[in-house]
Amino acid sequence: MTPIPDRLSVRQAQERILASLPERILESEKVPLSQSNGRTLAENIVSPIDVPAFNSAAMDGFAFNATSIDCSKDQSLKIVGHAYAGHPFTEPLSTGECIQIMTGAVVPDDCDTVIQQEDVHFPDSSHIAFPAMAATSGDNIRPVGEDMKKGALMLKAGTQLKPQHLGLLASVGMAEVPVFRRLSVAVFSTGDELCPIGKPLEAGKIYDSNRFILIGLLEQLGCDVVDMGIIEDSPEKLEQALKKAAQKADAIITSGGVSVGAADYTKQVMAKLGGIDFWSVRMRPGRPMAFGKILSGNRETVLFGLPGNPVAAMVSFLFFVKNALLVLMGTAPQYPQPITAISSTDIRKKTGRTEFQRGFTHFQDGRLHVSLTGNQGSGIIQSLTDADCIICLPEDQGNVETGNPVEIFLMDSLL
Ligand code: AMP
Ligand code: MG
C-alpha cells in the first residue's frame, strides 16, 4: 500500500478501499431458482432454448396465409378451426381458409398472419371478412426466438439476481442456477457502555443500536451475518473477538472504539493482528474509520472499523463498506446517481469536509425540494428514520441558503 495521507477525502477513501480488496473468488453452488433472489450469478448463462419455441399469436384473432390471397382487396375467409393457448390446431389449411386463434397459441405452419378480432366482421357464423389493406403478411406473430434465441448470452456472471432476472431464467426453464455462496460477515459492537436489548438499562449505559442497523444492512445485501454481540473495551477481549471473527467470516465489521479516546483500543489491536490502515476521512458524520485485513494462517479477512455514533456508522457503511462487500460478493460496485433538489432551509456547512445530512423531499411547483430532518447530530438515529434522502454537500461547499440547489441521494438508492 502507498503511504496514507493524514486525512482522506471521501473519494480517496472509497478508491483506496476498492483498490486494496483481496482478489478472492467465492465458491459457487447451485440453488433452486425460487431461492436465488438477491444472489450473485457465478457463471454466464446461455439460453438452452428459443423463446417462444414456436411462432405464437400476439393477439386474439384469426390466422391465415396472407401471401396466398390478395390483401389489397376486400377479403372473406372461411373459419375451419380454433387454436387456443396450449392447444394447437394441427390440420392443414387451404387457400381462403382461416382459424380462430387466441393470444399465445401456436400459429400453424401454413399461416403467416394474424388479424385482430376487432378488425374483422362476420358475414355469417362460419366466415370472417375484412377490408382491403387490413392485413399484411407477418402481422401479430411473435416469431420463434423473438424473446430469446437458443445459445444467446442471457445473463453475465456477477449479475445480482432480481425478480426480473428470475423471470427471464424461468422463461428458459432453468430450475437451478449457479450462484456464489453468500459472503459471511461478522459484526460486533465495542463499548463498556453498551447494553444488549432485553436487559434493563443501568446508569450510564445505552442500548447497542449499531449492531441492528448493520445487521439489517448486511441482510439486505444478502450476506450471511455472524452476530458476535457486544465486546468490552478491553484489548484482550477485542483481540480474542477479532481472531474468532477472522476464522468464521470473510469480512468483519465493528463499530466504536476507532477514535482517539483513552478506551479506543480497536486500532492498536487491529494493528497487532494484521495490516490495518487508520483513516481520518474528511466527512461528517463519520471521520474516524479503520480499514484493513486480519491475517490468521493463510486466511485474510477484510475489516472495517466503523465509528461508534449510529448515524456515522450507517453513513460509513453506505458510502464505504457496501461497495467493498459487493465486490467481495463477486458483483459490481454500485454508484447511485445524485439528483438535484432545492434546499427549503438554510444549511450550516463547513468547507473542507463532505457532509452527509439527512433530508426529506417534497415536490412543489414541479420541482423537487429538500428539508433537513431536524437536529443533525451523528448520534440522532431519528434523523435517519425521518429521512428519505441523504443530502451530500461536497468539501468546497460552504453554507447553503434557502433556494440553493443541493445534490441528494434517495435513501432507497443507497440501501
Ligand atoms: P466511540 O467511537 O466508541 O467513541 O463511540 C462514539 C459514540 O457512539 C459514543 O457516544 C458511544 O456511546 C456511541 N456508540 C458506540 N457504539 C454504539 C452502539 N453500538 N450503539 C449506539 N451507540 C454507540
Ligand atoms: Mg467506545
Tens of pLDDT along 381-395? 999 999 999 999 999
pLDDT tops 90 at residue 166? yes
Spacing, Cα 379 to ligand 1 middle (Å) = 8
Spacing, Cα 308 to ligand 1 middle (Å) = 4
What is the number of the ligand 1 atom nearest to the C-alpha of 312?
8
The pTM assigned to this predicted structure is 0.93
What is the number of the ligand 1 atom nearest to the C-alpha of 190?
16
pLDDT tops 80 at residue 278? no
* Pick among 3.30.70.260, 1.10.290.10, 3.90.105.10, 1.10.3210.10: CATH of 29-51+148-180: 3.90.105.10
The mean pLDDT value for 243-267 works out to 89
Q: Decide which of 276 and 54 is more confident.
A: 54
Residue 309 CB–ligand 1 contact under 6 Å: yes
* Pick among 3.40.440.10, 2.60.120.10, 2.40.340.10, 3.40.50.1820: CATH of 339-414: 2.40.340.10
Q: Which pLDDT does position 125 carry in this prediction?
A: 95
Q: How far is CA 260 from the centre of its chain?
A: 36
Domain extents for the chain?
Answer: 10-27+182-328, 29-51+148-180, 56-142, 339-414
The mean pLDDT value for 309-333 works out to 98
Tens of pLDDT along 53-98? 999 999 999 999 999 999 999 999 999 999 999 999 999 999 999 9
Q: How confident is the model at residue 259 (pLDDT cuts 50, 70, 90)?
A: confident
Q: How far apart are CA 351 and CA 353, in angstroms?
A: 6
Among candidate residues 163, 184, 144, the one with its CA nearest the CA of residue 56 = 144
Ligand nearest to the CA of 192: 2
Protein residue with its CA nearest to atom 15 in ligand 1:
308
pLDDT tops 80 at residue 297? no
What is the number of the ligand 1 atom nearest to the C-alpha of 209?
20
Question: Please, which residues have CB within 8 angstroms of residue 164's CB and are 6 or more apart in sequence?
Answer: none
Please identify every residue whose CB atom is under 5 Å from ligand 2, which is an ion: 191, 256-257, 308
**The three cell numbers locating residue 148:** 430469446
Q: Do domains 10-27+182-328 and 339-414 have the same CATH topology?
A: no
Using most ligand atoms within 8 A of CB, pick from 210, 280, 311, 380 the residue to mutate for ligand 1: 210
Residue with cell 399461416: 111
* Residue 302 near residue 250 (C-beta atoms within 8 A): yes
Spacing, Cα 232 to ligand 1 middle (Å) = 12
What are the residues facing 299 on neighbouring strands? 296
Q: How much is the CA Rg of the chain, to the nearest whole Å?
A: 31
Protein residue with its CA nearest to atom 14 in ligand 1:
308
Ligand nearest to the CA of 232: 2
Residue 357 CB–ligand 1 contact under 6 Å: no
Specify the CATH class of 10-27+182-328 in words. Answer: alpha beta
* Pick among 1.10.10.10, 2.170.190.11, 2.40.30.10, 3.40.640.10: CATH of 56-142: 2.170.190.11
Spacing, Cα 263 to ligand 2 middle (Å) = 7
